[in-house]
Structure 1
Amino acid sequence: MALTKRIKCFKYLVYSYVVLLMVTGAAQILVGTILLWGHSGYYGIVQNKLWAPAAILLCLGPITFLLCWMGCQATNQRKRCLLGTFIAALVACICIQFFICGWSLAMRESLPTSVEIFIDDSFVEFLDKFSRTKVDNLHLWNRMQSQLQCCGVDGPLDYRRLSLPWSCCSRPEHAYESACDTHYKRGCLSVVSEQIRNRLLFTSLGSATIAVVQSLGLFCAVHLAILFGKSENNHNISNLNKKRQQQFLPLSIQDKRHDMPSPLSLSPSAPGHRIIKSSKPPTMPK
């Protein structure tokens, strides 16, 4: 009886834990989407690098929802193997998130060196095209300089012998024209590097926080799996004891049990009397 009560108690705890996992799964999807959306503003300049941690965090969201379904099924049907698979997969997801945390911090420490190479190459291509046409108003560099309020890689001096593009002007007189009175002073390398550093830090903190929250209920799931195992062992032992008791009964008692009619063949005719029903109907005298 005590074991049954403990199983019932931990089943409710696991249900609560599954609800918590659903919340963390939604948080993974939300955080990953926000980070990838912010990275899309300059993904072409950094050659689509530094997006992998946020993408992996986003993919873990649907996987967490799948694990929630698996945990509910294992708890409802009292399947120890399925519950063990749920625990193992959840531990793997938690380890992956801690790996994302360390990976993001390592990538953050390598900035701005890794970003500088990509930005320099992209800016050289932009200068070459700008010096020949000067009409590519929708170029990624124009959009980035206008949105981030920066100019060039290190500053406006990067356009030495060229007129500044309209995107470097803080208050352009005419849209998409190069002539301007004031322009942005800071370079885009420092701005992009700082934004990437902040997003990587947010990725690291978000993944670590979600992993810690998901670890809170692992004890309940593991303990419930242990209780399921004890319940199965007790059931098997009781069945084995019943078989052994039947085997060690005296032969005379076993024969009597076999010879006794089944209760279905007995029908009461009067108080205290029973008549055994015969399989053949009584014959009528001619």
Structure 2
Amino acid sequence: MGQGEASARGTTMEGDCLSCIKYLMFVFNFLIFLGGSFLLGVGVWVLVDPTGFREIVAANPLLFTGVYIILGMGGMLFLLGFLGCCGAIRENKCLLLLFFMLILLIFLAELAAAILAFIFREHLTREYFTKELKRHYQGYNNTDVFTSTWNAIMTTFDCCGVNSPEDFKDSLFRLINQNHMVPEACCQRASQTGDVAYISQEQCLSGSMMYRNNKGCYSAVVDYFELYIYVAGALAIVVLTIELFAMVFAMCLFRGIQ
């Protein structure tokens, strides 16, 4: 009798443990579902953002592709979270196994992306951008992707050059436009809503500091996106942790289902 009671108690504890894992997995997958929704929201925001960031993204094929990668990842996490929730509640082994394999692939892809970002971080320095600006920026050739991207950045963030307008000395821009000290995109505008309403374009192009934007774009962009960078980094760590726990719970639940 005592042995039977111990066996029944063990079965009850095992059932309680399985039930706990099931609901924990549901919670983690709901968080993944919310994370996917957030990424979808970020992707849509970039595409419809009225502040001008959309023009910067659209001018650069690499960034434009990145937006659709964010949308794709968001959609995949959205569906995976839904799939995991259904698998946990219904205790369906096929759904759980499919969920585990897909979330493992995403986890490895995100880990690889983080490692690559760390390895190539030196390409995001002031020196790198300054060298590229001097070598490739042409000023008024909007058919050139590099030039149009920089024009969009300087116009959107009211900045000039990477560090300052002095970056255009000894540059390709000065070689092509010898009478202009800075490009038109560096000139101060009379109205933030006007695309070509400059305070004094002629004096700006001749080098007058009073009529041009003197802040470098590197500082302007970093200041603008500083909060978002930290939030994105923290969110990435949280998402990876959630995915790791979700995989563990999915496998535990898979093995516990008879």
The interval holding the TM-score normalised by the smaller chain is 0.5 to 0.7
Contact kept? 2:32, 2:239, Cα under 8 Å:
no
Question: Equivalents in 2 of 1:72, 1:78: separation in Å?
Answer: 10
Structure-1 residue corresponding to 2:180: 162
Match of 1:68 among 71, 81, 84: 81
Question: Equivalents in 2 of 1:196, 1:111: separation in Å?
Answer: 16
Tell me the secondary structure at the aligned position of residue 63 of structure 1.
helix
Match of 1:179 among 195, 202, 220: 202
The alignment covers a number of residue pairs equal to: 217
Question: Equivalents in 1 of 2:123, 2:250: separation in Å?
Answer: 39
Structure-2 residue corresponding to 1:23: 34
Question: Equivalents in 2 of 1:150, 1:203: separation in Å?
Answer: 24
Match of 2:92 among 54, 75, 79: 79
After superposition, where does 1:264-279 map in structure 2 within 5 Å?
A: none
Q: Deviations over 1:69-105 (max 9, x none)?
A: 3223323443223211111211221222222222333
Query: Which has the higher mean CA deviation after the structures are superposed, 101-110 or 60-69?
Result: 101-110
Q: Deviations over 1:243-262 (max 9, x none)?
A: xxxxxxxxxxxxxxxxxxxx
Tell me the secondary structure at the aligned position of residue 42 of structure 1.
helix
Q: Deviations over 1:203-235 (max 9, x none)?
A: 55543332123323333222111111xx2xxxx
Match of 1:149 among 158, 167, 176: 158
TM-score where L is the length of structure 1: 0.58
1:182 Cα shift?
2.8
1:162 Cα shift?
2.5
The unaligned stretches of length 5 or more in structure 1 are: 130-138, 232-286
Question: Equivalents in 1 of 2:133, 2:58: separation in Å?
Answer: 10
Q: Deviations over 1:161-217 (max 9, x none)?
A: 2375554333659924523443223454x4588579967776555433321233233
Contact kept? 1:169, 1:184, Cα under 8 Å:
yes
Contact kept? 1:33, 1:58, Cα under 8 Å:
yes
Question: Equivalents in 2 of 1:119, 1:20: separation in Å?
Answer: 42
- Cα distance 1:185–1:222, how it changes in 2: closer, same or farther (>3 A)? same
TM-score where L is the length of structure 2: 0.63
Question: Equivalents in 2 of 1:128, 1:85: separation in Å?
Answer: 50
The Cα RMSD (Å) is 3.9
1:8 aligns with 2:11: no
- Cα distance 1:163–1:81, how it changes in 2: closer, same or farther (>3 A)? closer
Question: Equivalents in 1 of 2:86, 2:97: separation in Å?
Answer: 12
Contact kept? 1:24, 1:214, Cα under 8 Å:
no
Contact kept? 2:28, 2:242, Cα under 8 Å:
no
> Which protein has the bigger helix share?
2
Larger Rg belongs to: 1
Match of 2:238 among 204, 209, 217: 209
Structure-2 residue corresponding to 1:56: 69
What amino acid is the match of 1:179?
E
Contact kept? 1:150, 1:186, Cα under 8 Å:
yes
Structure-2 residue corresponding to 1:246: none
- Cα distance 1:6–1:80, how it changes in 2: closer, same or farther (>3 A)? same
What amino acid is the match of 1:42?
I
1:57 Cα shift?
3.5
Question: Equivalents in 2 of 1:204, 1:101: separation in Å?
Answer: 10
Tell me the secondary structure at the aligned position of residue 49 of structure 1.
helix
1:140 Cα shift?
6.3
What amino acid is the match of 1:149?
D
